[in-house]
Structure 1
Amino acid sequence: MSEMPLFERLEDDDHGNAEPVFRVSEVNRAVRFMLEDHWPSVLIEGELSDVRRSKGHVYFTLNDEEEPAQLRGVMFQSDVRRTKAALQDGARVRFRGKLSLYTARGQFQLIARSAQMAGEGDLAAQFRKLRAKLEAEGLLAPERKRPLPRLPRVVGVVSSRTGAALQDIMRVAKERCPVKILVADCRVQGEDAPRSIVSALELIQRVDDLDVVIIARGGGSAEDLWAFNDEGVARAVAACRVPIVSGVGHEVDITITDLVADVRAATPSNAAELVVPEREALLRDVRSLERRLSQAFDNRIGGLRLRLERLLRPLYGARRVVVPVRREMAALEERLWHASRASLRTRRERHAELHRRLMRLDPRTVLRRDQRELASLSAKLRDAGRLPIRRERERLLELSVSLRGRAKPLIREARGSFAELCTHLDALSPLRVLERGYAIALHETTGRAVRSRLEVDAGDRLRIRVSDGEFGAKVEKT
């Protein structure tokens, strides 16, 4: 038992009273020795995944094809050189080796000595079968791949909100160029991951101004990435209305989603680099376009200048004819200028004279002049008429006083004659006769006075007037 000091200490301590305390390294070494003693040579078969090589050694994960179980393993360089088996993801391999424990990490593992191919693994077969199906439908055809937008404004990311992949995408996008990033959270591992990825992809497409989508997950084993080999996820990626970039796992990891997507990125960070343009690169492109535009403009101007020179070349010989004509035209122009100035001066003087005459005959000028004359005459008339009016007023006052003195006797005499006439008229008035008891009968219809009984008939209505009024009467008989 010298190779297992831990268990020797356990046996010794059974006779003591104190409970033993062990270090982690002691426990790991004891377990390693026990595994290597009890399982020195074992034959194990399974499907390979996560195969990677380092310094000639091969590290892998062996998967059970019937139950969810995994076993880490390693084959050292000397054994790798002897084996003829193709150690790659998806291969079904039968290993012979011993079970051990990697004490530094406490990791249970298989140390393989030899390997023999046992056929294709179930996961690899499923991958190959689905790939062939989608390829037959044309979903993997290069001609259906869409180009990425050159300057995206809104980038959708379908990934786990808590994963490192999202953080890498956000960091790289921020470093390259500011864009709007919308995240659709989903599960990226486990049985519910495919349904969650499809739902997140459908949700992100509801954004109207969405330009491109990144579907991403960090590295992991083949089983960890298996959700991205799901047929439903692949069809959802193919049906995405905008270009989609797949950044799942590392560069060596290939999934169905990578094959269906418009662009495959080696890593999530590389996906962000492919989607988000670099600010400096954009500035270089703009400066390059400016130079090209300036050069094209200069070339165009130069070409037009040459064409113009060719068109004008035949006209250079006509200068000998044109120069005398130009001199004559200049002389005629000078004569015309002097003549036009003289004519213009005459017309201006004529216009000024007509303006003066018009101003003299202008009704407003005449009216203002007449108003001034009227005001002057009115003032003179007021001054000239005040004295005669005063004299006439005094004379009228004297005549009024004289008239009053002379009219009083005449008025008294006239009043006496008037009273006498009134008395005589009153004596002759019919009303005086009525006061003595007489009455006057009047026809009611004609209003005429009845002077004889023959003028009335029985039944006639009469109005009888007396001294203090009148009343009606009816003739009974005549």
Structure 2
Amino acid sequence: MEEKTFTVSEINNYIGRKLKLDQNLKNIYIKGEISNYKTYPSGHSYFTLKDEKSQIPGVMFKGNKDRFLKFEPKDGMKVIIKGKIEVYERDGKYQLYATRITEDGLGDLHIAFEQLKKDLKKEGLFDDTHKKKIPKYPNRIGVVTAQTGAAIRDIITTIKRRYPICDVLVFSTLVQGDNAAPQIARQIIHAQKFDLDTLIVGRGGGSIEDLWAFNEREVAYAIYNCRIPVISAVGHEIDFTISDFVADLRAPTPTAAAEIAVPDIRKVKESVSQLNRRANKSINDRIELNKTKLNNISQKNILKNPESIYDIKGMSLDNLINRLSFTSKNIMTRNKNKLVRLESSAVFKNPESMYKLKRMDLEKVINKLNMTSNNIIVKNKNRLFKIENSHILKNPTEITKKKRDECLKNINKLEVLNPLSTLKRGYSIAKTKEKVITSVKDVEVGDEVDIEFDDGIINTKVI
């Protein structure tokens, strides 16, 4: 019997059919660590799932990623993957075809939330520098939420109860489901066309899946770019969404958002009444103060008898006029006397005599100067003659010889007094303790004595 021969493709196809028929491999959950995770331009992602002893290649196609994957897997991440095991016939390898990926121990929505929060924080969407101040006394407030439901009723009721003079505009939108996020973002943009003071964006409580529309990137960007101050009011006090971090202010509930958005009109009225009372009191106090000032001014003598001030000023003016007249007369008298003296002086009566007198004085000074200069010249000429005819200039060598002879005489005298010359003639000098001995009383028995001769010193001891 001839044995049947199979091609490689037939064998791979056969094994593939066997695996597809195995119900245990059609909808399976596998736990492991992701490595070599890579997404290609097609949108498909390829990876390896491994544990301590083995590994299996895997793929997640773009369609499943867009529908179910809420976060970006990373190498080294512990995950649980739902999918099926089939053969990739071209390479003859079996691999895992993933439909859902969840981080082991955490839900995929939680992972996606943390990743988006980290990304937006890095982009600066949460920075306090971008936060706008919520107006205290708004005229018109917009609300982006569902048209029906407890949230919008609570917001409108609270605003009308606290601050009924404020208008409320509702921008209806879906608040959960796949189409909710784009619609919320569009309504936030649309609301900016209206003259709004504040915009509340939110909904009532629910699960993380119900609130997920407020964790989408496009909603975060719409809130961040909104020119109107935004209050985020999503869920209950324990619920936090990305919208809460991006908004200018977070309210724990929709009701709390309404209370934050508007003041209590009763407190406003009370505050206005208090300000009115303070203003009236301040005005009355100012009026009383001014009345007192006016009364004090009216009691002054200048107002009771205003003519008296003119009398005093008139007296002062008369006094100044008299002083001015007296001073001017004195000045005129002094100047007239000076003029009389000048007119009677010799300068005016006979100016030529004054000129001759001054000229004579000048000639006397010139003659005196000439005489003095001639005397100085004569004296200096005599001194010069004496110097030229002095013995020093005529015979300078004789003076040098005379000075040299005087110097030699002094040297001979010093030689006679020189103690060294005395030693050369055979005498000696005795010293003890560096002192010259001039008497036997200067030494005692046992003292050392130095005797200095012309050619040396002898050390001796007194016995």
TM (norm. structure 2) is: 0.41
Rg: which structure is higher?
Answer: 1
TM-score normalized with structure 1 length: 0.40
